[in-house]
Structure 1
Amino acid sequence: MRWGNVGLRVDPTYRQRRFGAELRRLRERARLSSTEAAALLGMRQPQLSSVEAGKTGLSVERVQQLARAEGVSSQTFVQALIDLGQQSGKGWWSDYRAVLSSAHLDLAELEDGARSVVTYEPMFVPGILQTRDYAEVIHRAGYRPMGDEGRAAAVRFRVRRGGLVTGERPPSLHAVVHEAALCMSLGEPKVMRDQLLYLIELARLPHVTIQILPSDGPIPFGTGFVLLTPQVRELGTVVVSHIEKSLYLDDAEALSRYRDWFATLAGSALPAVDPDAAPSARGAKGSLGLLQRILYPLL
């Protein structure tokens, strides 16, 4: 490959940037400057900087060499890092590359590679659990203006994301949803009714756990987030919702902090929705009971 600006990615994906960031962490833990590491790998310093910025890849041999310099003992981690850099980045989401932002595509790619997804939503049903009608209402009445084509594509995209939950190799999914998110009819009572019924049906799946955080509980709304964990836990990512641009966090401290925060939320939420439990075992104060009370006026 020729170097300089030729052949470098102009707009790397999150996966590509993450691969570069992990290599930079390896280098820093090995106490190597970028110049020293480049010399070790038989590269020039600007080349390594481009790799760490996600603008280009790195050969398997050089990844392994850098891992040895850092003293990485887990071959599972090294192989996962190699896979991260070798992936094509292509999937069903690639069909939307021309019409949706990179944030949409990055999230779908992360979900596709996740073994575990945990999410907290204070104001909306989590996107991966939304019905088509609910997604249409959200996008029609959302704060971001969208043309008809973009809105239709965004709805189709969200429904495709939801197919991961019911597909052949779904991740484990644990969602904590604030009661407030389920009480808004959005001007469409039937849409909300069908959405709540769909949540109950999804809760029948063995890999899906849904809990409701009650409005009279000890925790305020907070900010929505999703924690996606692939086969190697250290390569997880937290996506924090924001009105302007979602925040992607992947350092060890942030991952630990959000895992602890989700554990607190789950511990404060009502017992999980379990439609198949005997009525006597459901308890009066459970997520299913609260869902049913919200549903009653909509039936």
Structure 2
Amino acid sequence: MASTASPTLRQQRLGRELRKLRERAGLSTSAAAALLGVNQSRISNIEAGRYAVGADRVRAMARMYSCPHDGLVDALAEMTGGRTRGWWDEYREFLPAGLMDLAELEHHAVALRVALTIHIPGLLQTADHARTLFQEVVPPLRPYEVEHRLSHRIKRQAILHGERAIPYTAIIHEAALRMRFGGPATVRKQLAHLLEMSELDNVTLRVVPFEDGTFPGNGQPVDYVYGPVPQLDTVQLDIHHGCEFLDAETELAKYRILLDRIEGRALAPAESRDFIHGIARSI
């Protein structure tokens, strides 16, 4: 397999998971290399995601590391090979790498759960709403950069439709519903789109009203991406300079608890739709 100068998030994750298995087995990189019949640098490059590894090699490493989780091994084997080209690759020279990683992560997800306080989730935004947000980015984006980001966001939304549509739970604070991005017409269209999306079998929309009085956490947008097995879940956070991805077991556990608490504060789906209807009528 060829080496990769700039591994994707998915390739890096595969390497990290293999490193975890090795360390849990109590093996050094030199010991693992000796057992596999390769040099130590090969193990280091595999674990850094810089060297594409095949499914058979991953299974051999898992056996050598005495991994007891067949589901995890199967999922890791599915992550092997070189860089997989997806629709997002056409944007690679135009957009930050984190957005490519996010699109690939969502593409391979089995479910998503998000919580936001002042923004509508990207996968539920209308084109007009998203364009308004991109036009307010600091430093300002050029018109063509706005359109690149807009088309990338709209294409990401395909995971909620069609035969491969995945379960999606969005927990939105009332503040996000009352923001007037783009003016009344854009807001009414956005709220109508939320109501339409909430009718899909795979989409659950829940609102946390102001009257609840509290909102667990610091209000930072949280995307929890479920992998084929819990060990391969990922948390994505929006930060001022881009995307941050977390996959440490302690962090995953922390954000599962946080999302459970936020969802526990939210209205039921039917009540949430009625709530959104009420806001829409007041605009």
With the shorter chain as reference, the TM-score category is: over 0.9
Q: Which residue of 2 aligns with 1:234?
A: 231
CA distance in 1, matches of 2:77, 2:128: 40
Measured in 2, the distance between the counterparts of 1:60 and 1:165 equals 29
Aligned match of 1:96:
91
Structure 1 segment 127-276 matched on structure 2, within 5 A: 127-217=122-212, 218-219=214-215, 222-272=219-269, 274=270
Change (3 A) 1:11 1:169: same
Name the residue aligned to 2:43: 48
Question: Cα distance, 1:15 vs. partner?
Answer: 0.5
Distance in structure 2 (CA, Å) of the matches to 1:187 and 1:226: 24
Once the two structures are superposed, the pairs formed by residues 10-25 of structure 1 within 5 Å of their partners are 10-25=5-20
CA distance in 2, matches of 1:51, 1:38: 11
CA drift of 1:70 comes to 2.4
| Aligned counterparts of 1:187 and 1:135: Cα–Cα separation in 2 | 9
> Residue 129 of structure 2 contacts residue 182 of structure 2 at CA under 8 Å; is this kept in 1?
no
In structure 2, the gaps of 5 or more residues are none
Give the match's secondary structure for 1:254: helix
Check whether the contact 2:52–2:82 (CA below 8 A) recurs between aligned residues.
Answer: no
Counterpart of 1:254, as a letter, is E
TM-aligned CA deviation for residue 233 of structure 1: 2.2
Unaligned runs of 5+ in 1: 2-6, 275-285
How far apart in 2 are the matches of 1:89 and 1:83?
Answer: 11
Query: Which one has more relative contact order, counting CA pairs under 8 Å at least 6 apart?
Result: 2
> Aligned with 2:223: secondary structure?
strand
Matches within 5 A, 1:51-90: 51-86=46-81, 88-90=83-85
Name the CA distance, whole Å, in 2 between partners of 1:89 and 1:130: 27
Q: What is the alpha-carbon distance in structure 2 between the residues aligned to residue 89 and residue 146 of structure 1?
A: 29
CA distance in 1, matches of 2:183, 2:227: 37
1:187: how far off? Answer: 4.3
How many Å apart are 1:230 and its aligned residue? Answer: 2.3
CA shift for structure 1 position 88: 4.0
Measured in 2, the distance between the counterparts of 1:199 and 1:180 equals: 15
Deviation, structure 1 residue 42: 1.1
Secondary structure of 1:86 counterpart: coil
* Structure 1 position 159, deviation (Å): 0.8
- What residue identity is the alignment partner of 1:94? D
| Partners of 1:144 and 1:161 in 2: CA distance | 24
1:241 CA drift (Å): 1.4
CA–CA distance in 1 between the matches of 2:137 and 2:96?
A: 16
